[in-house]
Structure 1
Amino acid sequence: MMQPYVTLQIEAGVGTIEFFHPDHNAMPSDNLKKLENTIIEAAKNERVKVVVLKSAGDRTFCAGASFKELIAINNTETGKEFFSGFAHVINAMRKCPKLIIGRVQGKAVGGGVGLAAATDYCLASQFAAIKLSELSIGIGPFVIEPAVSRKIGQTAMSQITINAEQFYTAQFAKEKGLYADVFDTVEALDEAVKTLAENLATYNPEALVQMKKVFWKDTAHWDSLLMERAEISGHLVLSTFTKETLKRFM
Structure 2
Amino acid sequence: MGSIETVIHNNVATITFYHPSSNSFPSTLLQELTDELNTLSKNETVSILILKSAGTGAFCAGASFDELLSISNYEDGSRFFSGFANVINAMRKCPKLIIGRIHGKAVGGGVGLAAACDYSFATSKSDVKLSEIAIGIGPFVIEPAVSRKIGKMPMSEMTLNPTAWKTSKWAFEKGLFTEVFETIEELDNRLEQYVAEISSYNKEALYEMKKVLWEGTNHWESLLYERAAISGRLVLSDFTKNALEKFKK
TM-score by length of 2: 0.98
Q: Is the 8 A contact 1:58 1:106 kept in 2?
A: yes
- Equivalent residue number for residue 190 of structure 1: 188
Percent of aligned pairs with the same amino acid: 56
Unmatched segments (≥5 aa) in structure 2: none
Partner Cα distance (1:46, 1:10) in 2: 12
Does residue 28 (structure 1) correspond to residue 29 (structure 2)? The answer is no
Which letter does structure 2 place at the counterpart of 1:4? G
- Equivalent residue number for residue 151 of structure 1: 149
Which letter does structure 1 place at the counterpart of 2:125? F
- Equivalent residue number for residue 139 of structure 1: 137
Partner Cα distance (2:182, 2:223) in 1: 37
Q: Spell out, residue by residue over 1:216-244, the C-alpha distance to the aligned partner (whole angstroms, 9 max, x if none).
A: 00100101000000000000000110011
- Equivalent residue number for residue 124 of structure 2: 126
Q: Spell out, residue by residue over 1:186-227, the C-alpha distance to the aligned partner (whole angstroms, 9 max, x if none).
A: 011011111111211110000001000000001001010000
Q: Spell out, residue by residue over 1:99-153, the C-alpha distance to the aligned partner (whole angstroms, 9 max, x if none).
A: 0000000000000000000000011011100000000000000000000000000
Q: Spell out, residue by residue over 1:166-204, the C-alpha distance to the aligned partner (whole angstroms, 9 max, x if none).
A: 111000000000001110100110111111112111100
> Which of 10, 15, 32 in structure 2 is aligned with 1:12?
10
SS in 2 for 1:101: strand
Which letter does structure 2 place at the counterpart of 1:248? K
Q: Over the residues paired in the alignment, what is the CA RMSD in angstroms? A: 0.7
Paired residues, number: 248
Runs of 4+, deviation exceeding 2 Å:
none
Compute the displacement of 1:42 (Å).
1.2
Which letter does structure 2 place at the counterpart of 1:83? F
> Which of 191, 201, 218 in structure 1 is aligned with 2:199?
201
Which letter does structure 2 place at the counterpart of 1:90? I
Partner Cα distance (1:39, 1:167) in 2: 29
Compute the displacement of 1:41 (Å).
1.3
Which letter does structure 2 place at the counterpart of 1:68? D
Q: Is the 8 A contact 1:59 1:107 kept in 2?
A: yes
Compute the displacement of 1:59 (Å).
2.1
- Equivalent residue number for residue 89 of structure 2: 91
> Which of 66, 69, 72 in structure 2 is aligned with 1:71?
69
- Equivalent residue number for residue 40 of structure 2: 42
> Which of 227, 235, 238 in structure 1 is aligned with 2:236?
238
Partner Cα distance (2:82, 2:232) in 1: 9
Unmatched segments (≥5 aa) in structure 1: none
Q: Is the 8 A contact 1:10 1:47 kept in 2?
A: no
> Which of 213, 216, 222 in structure 2 is aligned with 1:215?
213
